[in-house]
Amino acid sequence: MVKKKGGLGRGLGALGLGGATVNKPAKSQENKKEQLHAVKSNDGKSEVSAVTASPQEIEVSKIKVNPNQPRTEFDEEALNALQDSIKEYGVLQPVIVRKTAKGYELIAGERRLRASKLAGKQTIPAIIKEFNDAQMTEIALIENIQRENLNPVEEAHAYHHLLSDYGLTQDMLSKKVGRSRSHIANFLRLLKLSEKIQAMLVEGKISMGQAKPLLAIEDIDLQEKAANFIIDNDLSVRKVEALVKQLLKHPDYFDEKPVDTKGVDTDPAQLFILDAEDKLKMVLGTSVRIKGTGKKKKLEIDFTSQDDLERIIDLLTEKVRANDNAEKLKKLREFSTTGKFNV
């Protein structure tokens, strides 16, 4: 089973969900690009408008899910666990909705709404906001990215939806969702894979790192044969890349003879370096290279702007800050019990 990557989204707070001024939502759908920039604060940054600052109880039957929700797969076990928690403690964090002619439409919190229905709840605490369709799509995407809820194909479709329906460039989208342009481009490329391989990604049978090299194979049948071979033999990303090189040279590679997976292996030391590059790319959301020979090596990390560099620095220093805070907390606890610090 493929492990999920870390989320790098800006979070809902960056969209003004902590509170903002009241504005009317855009009424026309004719210019979707303008919707995404319809509500602005004094400094020009995107804001969203609030109708109610405090939650109120709303009947769950009156809330319809967001049709632009990028997430289509919900973990049943996690949903049942949330259901049990809601039965015992209730819904601790309100969902966010917008008013419609026939009731309400969900903006954020679909897992809580689903679990509340499973728990037999008649109402759910909700905060009512005013958003246009473009803002709802952006918020749903950011919420799921931040909480690591989307599989690679869902994330790719969400990016494609925002780019194609609202006229955004990849650079504009990058700034809105807190992802690098290369990260967005890599996910969009996944939509060029066959539907069967996309389904394998959704089901976690193959990882994004294993799927990406298959894009070099234009023949769909050969692409799918390679994907099945990857799953059956549990190939590493480096072995997949080597296999694809063989297939590009010899498209009948599978038909000639039984394939020896050792034939697509690489040098162990180089394999470690390439694997480390892959891990850093996924964590940092940008291109990474490890160069050098012998004992002296260097790490190169791509960034597109000062904001992007600051984001990368935050990610690289996150664990250090967490350890530092833990050490400070430990010393404070020692002081509270002994009356002195141990340096």
Classify residue 156 as exposed, middle or buried by CB count within 10 Å of its CB (0-12, 13-18, 19+): buried
Picking from 133, 144, 138, the residue whose alpha carbon sits closest to that of residue 159 is 138
- In terms of C-beta density within 10 A (0-12 exposed, 13-18 middle, 19 or more buried), how is residue 290 classed? middle
Segments in the chain forming alpha helices (H): 32-35, 76-89, 110-118, 133-146, 152-166, 170-177, 181-189, 195-202, 208-211, 220-233, 237-249, 253-256, 268-284, 306-338
* d(C-alpha 91, C-alpha 82), whole Å: 9
> CA-to-CA distance for 294 and 270, rounded, in angstroms?
12
Annotated active-site residue 110? The verdict is: yes
What is the C-alpha separation between 256 and 265, in angstroms, rounded? 19
The pair of three-digit structure tokens given for residue 235, joined into one six-digit string: 């190939």
Of 47, 105, 110, 155, the catalytic one is 110
Name residue 290's beta-bridge partners. 299
In 3D space, the residue among 64, 34, 44 whose CA is nearest the CA of residue 133 turns out to be 34
8-state DSSP, 6: P
164 touches 196 (CB < 8 A): no
Host H or E run for residue 64:
strand 63-64
Scanning the structure block, which residue is given the tokens 């804001």? 47
Q: How many CB atoms lie within 10 A of CB 68?
A: 19
- Catalytic residue numbers read 110
